[in-house]
Amino acid sequence: MSFLPSPDQQALVDATRSFVQAEVGPLVADDDRDERFRKELIPRFGEMGLTGVPIPEKWGGLGLGYSEYALVIEEIARVSPAYAIAVAVSGLPQVILARYGSDGQKRRLLPELASGRHLGAFALSEPGSGSDAASLRTTAVRYGDRYVLNGGKMWITHGPYADVIIVMARTGGNGARGISAFVVEGGAKGLSFGRAEDKMGLRSSPTHAMTLEDVEVAADDLVGREGQGFTIAMAALDSGRITIGATAVGLSRAAADAAAAYARTREQFGKAIIDFQGVGFMIADMAIATESAALLVRKAAWLKDQGLPFTQEAAMAKCAATDAAMRVTTDAVQVLGGYGYTREYPVERMMRDAKVMQIVEGTNQIQRLVISRHIARG
């Protein structure tokens, strides 16, 4: 077991850092203010191999594991959590198709998604079904060789920009076993989106409601079997929670670095404020929280890469890393004082971005439910 990245992993981290700092870094503050998402950046991420890290090379990915994927997402998030989320969410359909898709679906969809030429999205939540995902009401009715989908979805990350959306819809009775997963292509007739939500943070990552009105898909667009959709969604979210954890770790690192840099140079009462124990200990606590979270994320990714169960560890990593990011970013604003509360410094954006991490891909209350259910089973 090694706690350090291998030389190859370090090279991937370094390449990601240089790319994101140069290409995305200069845009972050203005795009956050203007709520601007640049889809045209996604193929650029793709050229670096960053949009399909865990997808087999045969299907256009890098063929690496979640250990590498988590490192990449963490590095993107140090600069831009919004693009870390864009890459991670576009990864969800890929992970689903790579595991449950037919050969035809893989051949048709994966190379474009893994290369970043296409953007993927994931549609599970609905206005009346968030944490209780199994109560979703969107329907898919089969007519011969087609399914017709009707319903409303919520919180669809970059929905109107997506070329491929995995939509969970009900083909059977109530509950988890009545749900199936479908490929719906962006621009499908009957598919429409509401206005971008006016969010507190992650403002360069657009979030939309989605309506499906008699959207027709081919029977071949069913992913896996009828009734398997909930398991597919849960398995995807297990993996997704590793990448949300990694995003939160990147955010914490950025906030902790900004706070430390400020505290080393800002002088009050004749010395650097980091030399006052009240501030120095806050900086130490940020380092402890960030490092502990990174280790949990790495462990969950490693378990997945070994083919071992990782549901509980992914929930722990997501929960711990996002709670840590909220604390670390809030303390970073505190260390910078009045300056930290202004848009002149990036820490106020980081604090706003951190909040949603405690909510997306399963609230931290749901993560605790997943963890406690595992423990209860013994």
Footprint of ligand CAA (CB under 6 A): 89, 122, 124-125, 131, 133-134, 155-157, 176-177, 230-231, 234-235, 237-238, 311, 360-362, 366, 369-370
Question: Closest distance between ligand CAA and the C-beta of residue 39, in Å?
Answer: 15
- For residue 16 the two structure tokens come to 């990601």
Q: Compute CA 291 distance to the chain's CA centroid, rounded to the nearest angstrom.
A: 20
Which one, 15 or 235, has the nearer CB to ligand CAA?
235
Query: CA–CA separation, 13 vs 46, rounded Å?
Result: 15
The end-to-end CA distance of the chain, in Å, is 26
Which of 238, 250, 208, 329 minimizes the C-alpha distance to 82?
Answer: 250
Least Å distance, CB 312 to ligand CAA, is 9
Distance of closest approach, residue 188 Cβ to ligand CAA, in angstroms:
18
Greatest Cα-to-Cα distance within the chain, rounded to the nearest angstrom: 80
Structure tokens at 184: 């719906």
- Residue whose Cβ sits closest to ligand CAA: 362
Q: Which is nearer to ligand CAA, 208 or 298 (CB)?
A: 208
Residue (88 or 259) nearer to ligand CAA, CB: 88
Query: Given the DSSP bridges, would you call strands 164-170 and 120-123 parallel, antiparallel or unpaired?
Result: parallel
Nearest approach in angstroms of CB 231 to ligand CAA is: 4
74 annotated active-site: no
Contact between 256 and 328 (Cβ < 8 Å): yes
Structure tokens at 67: 């250990």
Nearest to ligand CAA of 91, 340 (CB atom): 91
The smaller minimum CB distance to ligand CAA, of residues 153 and 258, is found at 153
Q: Which residues of 362-376 are buried (b: 16+ CB within 10 A; e: fewer)?
A: bebebbeebbeeeee
Catalytic residues: 361
